Amino acid sequence: MLETEPSDLFLNYALGIEYFSNQNFNLALEFFDKVLLLNSDYLPVYYQLGKIHEELRDNNKALYFYKSGATLAKIKKDNKALNEFNEAVFLLEE
């Protein structure tokens, strides 16, 4: 499906999730980075990028994505997402 719709946001995100769940972080990063290029306002991708960087033990990058997601969630007035990002930041900075 991605061959016929290479710019499909959901397909790219879904493949990123699939690769992440199989611990293929490099491929997951490729798809999540593509999602950001397609739509930098797509909140869920910031959380997934934070989680990947936590797995890779790069807490600075993880915090960057969590905090960026929190900023975007605040702009979008998405309180549920904002709380999730803030909790991730809290747990990582603890």
Q: How far is CA 28 from CA 18, 34, 42, 71, 80, in A?
A: 8, 10, 16, 23, 24
- Average confidence (pLDDT) over 65-73: 98
**0.95 surpassed by pTM:** no
**Which residue, chain included where needed, has tokens 């033990």?**
57
pLDDT on residue 2:
63
pLDDT on residue 1:
64
**Among 45, 38, 37, 43, which residue's Cα sits nearest to residue 16?**
45
pLDDT on residue 71:
98
Q: What one-character-per-residue DSSP string does 1-61 give?
A: -TTT-TT-HHHHHHHHHHHHHTT-HHHHHHHHHHHHHH-TT-HHHHHHHHHHHHHTT-HHH
Q: Give me the amino acid identity at 35.
A: V
pLDDT on residue 19:
97
Q: What is the pLDDT of residues 7-53, one digit of tens each?
A: 889 999 999 999 999 999 999 999 999 999 999 999 999 999 999 99
Q: What is the mean pLDDT of the chain?
A: 95
Q: What is the pLDDT of residues 76-94, one digit of tens each?
A: 999 999 999 999 999 999 8
Q: State which CATH number among 1.25.40.10, 2.60.40.1840, 1.10.760.10, 2.40.30.10 fits the domain covering 9-93.
A: 1.25.40.10
Has residue 5 got a pLDDT over 90? Answer: no
